[in-house]
Homo-oligomer: A and B are copies of this chain.
Amino acid sequence: MTDQTMTIRQMCEDFDVTPRTLRFYEAKELLFPQREGQKRLYGKRDRARLKLILRGKRFGFSLEEIRQLLDLYYMNDSQATQLRETYVLAEKHLADMKAQRAELDEAIAELQTQMDWGRSRLAQIDPQQAKAS
């Protein structure tokens, strides 16, 4: 684990995942760490990719969708022919995320309304412990 690369353990601790998960992502071609003999060595690129993978998961994208999106972030010059295609895909995902944000805002507002109601109910029942928002 010279230089900028790290072992699987280190990665697991940094990102709070298991070795199994990292090997699984590799099998699904979302990560491709270098090998030093048998051992996997994760570099800067892998860390950046993993960050995006985990983020994508939190937003409900499947690993397969994420795999395709990673192409946008790690496009090289020789893949210029696929650039437009990838760009269109990215537009869809961006629209998805914006829609999700709008819905999320609405959901937050509604839940907060419910909680205001709940808090007033609590205040009636149990006046001494009422909290502020």
Contact = CB atoms under 8 A, between A and B. Distances in A.
Nearest to A97: B108
Interface string A75-116: 100001001101100110110011011011101100110110
Given A60-B60, A84-B126, A87-B122, A101 B105 contact: yes
A115 B94 contact: yes
A75 B118 CA distance: 9
A101 B108 contact: yes
Main secondary structure of the interface of A (DSSP, over half): helix
A92 to B, nearest CB: 11
Given A94-B111, A101-B105, A104-B101, A87 B119 contact: yes
Interface in A46-63: 55, 58-60
A130 to B, nearest CB: 10
